[in-house]
Amino acid sequence: MEVLIRYKESEYIKLQTISVIGSFNNYDKSKGYMKKENGIWYYKINLGPGKHYYKFIINDELIINDPEANMYFPDENEELWSVIVINDNDERMYNNEEYSVHIDSYMITNYISEEEKVINKKVFSIVSDKKIVTRFKFNNVTGIHTVVVAWFTPDDELFQYSENNLFAPNREHEGFMWFWLDLDDNKHRLKLGKWKIKMFIDGQFILEDEIKILNLNTYSSMGKINF
């Protein structure tokens, strides 16, 4: 059957290209470039019976799941993928279960901690700080989700991103998740100035924040410059 995969543009992501990689095109981005029409990117493909895994590659760099996908399944490496399931009658199957995830709190600091009260910082020293850590506390999690955090330079170029699976067995569970940018290992590659942090859950853009990385010899614990 013919399947239409689409992606709606967002003001928070500057799009040049989007490609679909999946089990149906050998995960080859050159075979999955989407076309654009009226702010919607789309890709048409004929799929037979079975379970078909896929993801999006944005600007040939950032890989995320399809926020409009109806199903997500892990592969043999426990990586979560958007999935299209077609039965033997050439009908697309849908999951009617509703899943949830809520962000209870969000902070940026320079160390990994599970303490309730953590100093939130927005200014970091390339000289003194070892890393920049984003900490998310989740609750009311049902099902399994992918969380992606991407770091963009002052030139709005993607520097790095990472993905983690978020799973909780019941709605009472709440947990932390950390993503960080290592300052020590990247000192000679990091551009000073205003950086952007963007977060996606199941491919859906959730939030954007800004930080500054400066060449400071002294700074306060609150992330403010000392003169």
Structural domain contains residue 8: yes
We report the CATH number of the domain holding residue 80 as: 2.60.40.10
More reliable by pLDDT, 55 or 184:
55
The total of structural domains in the chain comes to 2
Q: What is the pTM of this model?
A: 0.89
Decide which of 74, 93, 112 is a domain's last residue.
93
pLDDT in tens, 35-54: 999 889 999 999 999 999 99
Domain that holds residue 64: 2-93
The per-residue pLDDT of the chain, averaged, comes to: 90
- Examine the domain organization and report whether 123 and 28 are in the same domain: no
pLDDT in tens, 176-218: 899 999 998 877 789 999 999 999 999 999 999 999 999 987 5
Same domain? 115 vs 18 = no
Please check whether residues 170 and 116 belong to one and the same domain.
yes
DSSP characters over 172-227: T--EEEEEEEESSTTTTTPPPEEEEEEEEETTEEEEEEEEEEE--S-B-TTSPBP-
| 129 shares its domain with 191 | yes
Are 108 and 205 in the same domain?
yes
Q: Let me know if residue 208 belongs to a domain.
A: yes
Which tens digits make up the pLDDT trace of 73-128?
999 999 999 999 999 999 999 998 888 899 988 999 999 887 877 789 999 999 99
Ramachandran region of residue 85, left (φ > 0), alpha (ψ -120 to 50) or beta?
A: beta
